[in-house]
Structure 1
Amino acid sequence: MTAPTPSLWLRLQRLSLVTQIIIGLIAGIALALFAPEVAKSTAFIGKVFVSALKAVAPILVFVLVMASIANHKHGQETHIRPILFLYLLGTFAAAVVAVVASTLFPSSLVLATHDVAVTAPGGISEVLQSLLLSVVDNPVSALMNANFIGILAWAIGMGIAIRHAGDTTREVLGDLSNGVTLIVRLVIRFAPLGIFGLVASTLATSGFGALIGYVHLLAVLLGCMLFVALVMNPVIVFWKLRRNPYPLVITCLRESGITAFFTRSSAANIPVNLELSKRLGLHEDTYSVSIPLGATINMAGAAITITVLTLAAVHTLGIAVDIPTAILLSIVAAICACGASGVAGGSLLLIPLACSLFGIPSEIAMQVVAVGFIIGVLQDSAETALNSSTDVLFTAAACLGEDEKAQRLA
């Protein structure tokens, strides 16, 4: 007697999440091509998925970080310092790559009058002041507005305080962390459906017609991001691990980068990265802090966007750039990127700050921002995929590297 053939639904459930996401991606593209009006109606599905991720991310970070610190055992090593170093190194290296690429393949923009109702920071000091104010934000406000810097500050403070509480209190906090994690896993299981809705509605509504006039600019932007993802980051990981970095790189790009590409939000991808870190067997005390921190300050893609678009404006206006100025731009872009918002299009609002280095007036700089929004269908998606996947990559590299170093010394 032969066993009954499993239903299509059961067979889909047995597939890995990444395979299911790819199926959702292909289905979304097909629907947008053959039934664009129907595809437009799927926007609601994508919005629900992204909203669910954004809803669970703040409370997940707050509870997970607080529980990890409260239950941290004395003498147990965390690797936050080497991760921070990798974050800053990767962001600066990305800005340098963008400077070199923009010099070798200069882009020109058609700058005209655009009414863009956005407000950009006035200088680096304003960016740093904003970061400091985020640290001391009201905890309820931080949770409501997804201010992850403020959430981290309060979670760390509460975690340290609760370390001195009784065992029962810490156990309750650990159970609460597990409960929130289960909810997050449930939300992530709907990623294939959410990405199907996002892809179908985006292609049916926007298409790629608006991008044709900016093919060269997009080629430079996406080329820089691919170079950083497939060459620069692997070099940094190899320096840390002293072994073939590509299995880890590909895993992070596949399982974190794909979802980040379509959600276009580093903040919304935090639950995905935390789940991936757990599957990679990393230290919870480390990744529960480094992943939300990376969503705020590890912004290689943002550094590339700020640098390439700024130098495109510089080239268009015929402004000469010497080596010291290019180095200064890389530093400024890295600092600006660390202050970029973890939402779609967050890095674009920092372009006027970088443009001010070359004396470009805000009226022209805001036109460059408008160009950024036009190409944002691809630029922002690729930027977020690079930013978010690198959070897990550098966390894993630091944890594995330090563990192997400790084993060699033992």
Structure 2
Amino acid sequence: MKRFGLLPRIILAIALGIIAGTFAPDGLIKVFVTFNSLFGNFLNFIIPLIIIGFIAPGIGAIGNGAGKLLGMTTLIAYISTISAGLLAFFTAQTIYPSILANQASKAFDDPSKALLKGYFTVEMPPIMSVMTALLLAFSLGLGIAAIKGSVLKDVMNEFRDIIELIISKLIIPLLPVHIFGIFANMTQGGQVSAIMSVFAKVFVMIIILHITYLFIQYSVAGSMRKQNPLKMVRKMAPAYFTALGTQSSASSIPVTLERSKKIGVKDRIADFSVPLLATIHLSGSTITLVSCAMAVMLLQDQAYTFSSMLPFILMLGITMVAAPGVPGGAVMAATGLLGSMLHFDSTMISLMIALYLAQDSFGTACNVTGDGAITAIVDKLNK
């Protein structure tokens, strides 16, 4: 199963879930519904710990960088991430009413009657609210950066390693089972056809947005450096395909670094910026998260407006710093915001995870390739 990647497992889980929901007896489906209840409650418990475990040491590490160059790189990366989120919002706001028309009310018509309930549930209340966790993580991260102490920093780094282990060894491996149960339950409730139709249309739109945004990034970098953006993109292509295969920004750093130097970036700037951007610049993931969130909200017949989505996008740009370096890490880091700011319930978060994981490779590839453009811009601006 280790050789059987996460994306194939997710696709298999969806397919088997649809088959099981069509033919399996309700009693068997309720076994997986019970598992989903337990798994969803555990996710609610672990979300504040994910926020603290990744945001606090992430901010603390950034604060120990190289002054002006660090600040400039971080600011450009944040602006790029927010711009990607806004592009996704306005595109979805324009396109969704036509491509997803008449699917909202049909998809989840009275779900309380359509979906089965589990045999039992176990409450797992989180130790704190999401907002409390965010405030605590920001306070600890900024404090670690300010005092330049090693003790608390080491503690938070080890805590991050524990949380990353829980995500990579427990949550991510069990996600296909969770998604299987979700789709089996939705299929028996007559809801899956609308879900799959939305999946296909949103997937295509997201890939187009990724490619579009990469050309925007390289057009800006090319115009500033007086280079041909198409040639820059072509030279960065190996980084794109490396990330597509590894699903990891960190694993792609050596190739991204080598390709960034090929497009003319100074060695000193590339050596500093590329590893940093692999952590803090997730424009592709942000496009996916915003697009998927709006699709799930439409499925649930939940209204979205610019005034409600803008704070989410702004916070998402900060929270992406917390995204762990495992497949699906960005959506796991964002689950707290989805619940607290967009009022997602456990079913909506599960759909969000499934939608996100279906294109995780492409989001990572967009992140990594975009790092080359940001590095080129920083190199031009640095005096």
Classify the TM-score, shorter chain.
Answer: 0.5 to 0.7
CA displacement 1:134-182 (0-9 Å, x = unmatched)? 765329956994999xxxxxxxxxxxxxxxxxxxxxxxxxxxxxxxxxx
Partner of 2:285: 302
Partner of 1:89: 79
Partner of 2:218: 234
Within the candidate set 114, 138, 161, 2:154 is matched to: 138
Secondary structure of the residue aligned to 1:257 is helix
Where in structure 1 are there 5+ consecutive unaligned residues?
Answer: 1-39, 45-64, 149-209
Letter in 2 for 1:255: P
Within the candidate set 203, 219, 237, 2:204 is matched to: 219
1:113 Cα shift? 7.5
CA displacement 1:303-360 (0-9 Å, x = unmatched)? 1122112111221222223332232232133223232223210122214513532333
Letter in 2 for 1:307: V
User: Could you say if the C-alpha distance between residues 286 and 142 of structure 1 is closer, same or farther in structure 2, counting changes exceeding 3 Å?
Assistant: farther
- The whole-number CA distance in structure 1 between the counterparts of 2:377 and 2:242 is 21
Give 1:112-261 correspondences, 5 Å limit: 123=130, 126-127=133-134, 129-130=136-137, 136-138=152-154, 145=161, 213=197, 214-230=199-215, 232-238=216-222, 240-252=224-236, 254-261=237-244
Indicate whether 1:339 and 2:322 are aligned.
yes
Within the candidate set 367, 374, 387, 2:367 is matched to: 387
1:257 Cα shift? 0.8
User: Could you say if the C-alpha distance between residues 127 and 249 of structure 1 is closer, same or farther in structure 2, counting changes exceeding 3 Å?
Assistant: farther
Secondary structure of the residue aligned to 1:224 is helix
User: Could you say if the C-alpha distance between residues 325 and 139 of structure 1 is closer, same or farther in structure 2, counting changes exceeding 3 Å?
Assistant: closer
Contact 1:114 1:370 in 2 (8 A): no
Give 1:56-75 correspondences, 5 Å limit: none
* Identity, % of aligned positions: 19
Letter in 2 for 1:299: L
Task: Give the number of equivalent residue pairs.
Answer: 267
User: Could you say if the C-alpha distance between residues 246 and 128 of structure 1 is closer, same or farther in structure 2, counting changes exceeding 3 Å?
Assistant: farther
- The whole-number CA distance in structure 1 between the counterparts of 2:320 and 2:159 is 22
Indicate whether 1:321 and 2:304 are aligned.
yes
Indicate whether 1:369 and 2:352 are aligned.
yes
Secondary structure of the residue aligned to 2:325 is coil
TM-align CA RMSD? 4.1
Letter in 1 for 2:154: N
Letter in 2 for 1:84: T
Contact 1:98 1:308 in 2 (8 A): yes
User: Could you say if the C-alpha distance between residues 246 and 270 of structure 1 is closer, same or farther in structure 2, counting changes exceeding 3 Å?
Assistant: same
Within the candidate set 317, 333, 338, 1:354 is matched to: 338
Contact 2:235 2:263 in 1 (8 A): no
Partner of 2:21: none
User: Could you say if the C-alpha distance between residues 321 and 145 of structure 1 is closer, same or farther in structure 2, counting changes exceeding 3 Å?
Assistant: closer
Contact 2:81 2:281 in 1 (8 A): yes
Partner of 2:94: 104
- The whole-number CA distance in structure 2 between the counterparts of 1:304 and 1:359 is 19
Superposition TM-score, scaled by structure 2 size:
0.58
Contact 1:78 1:285 in 2 (8 A): no
Contact 2:221 2:376 in 1 (8 A): no
- The whole-number CA distance in structure 2 between the counterparts of 1:346 and 1:322 is 26
User: Could you say if the C-alpha distance between residues 127 and 279 of structure 1 is closer, same or farther in structure 2, counting changes exceeding 3 Å?
Assistant: farther
CA displacement 1:200-237 (0-9 Å, x = unmatched)? xxxxxxxxxx996521121122122122112x213432
Secondary structure of the residue aligned to 2:326 is coil
Contact 1:105 1:220 in 2 (8 A): no
Where in structure 2 are there 5+ consecutive unaligned residues?
Answer: 6-60, 109-114, 119-123, 145-151, 165-192
- The whole-number CA distance in structure 1 between the counterparts of 2:296 and 2:336 is 10
- The whole-number CA distance in structure 2 between the counterparts of 1:146 and 1:274 is 29
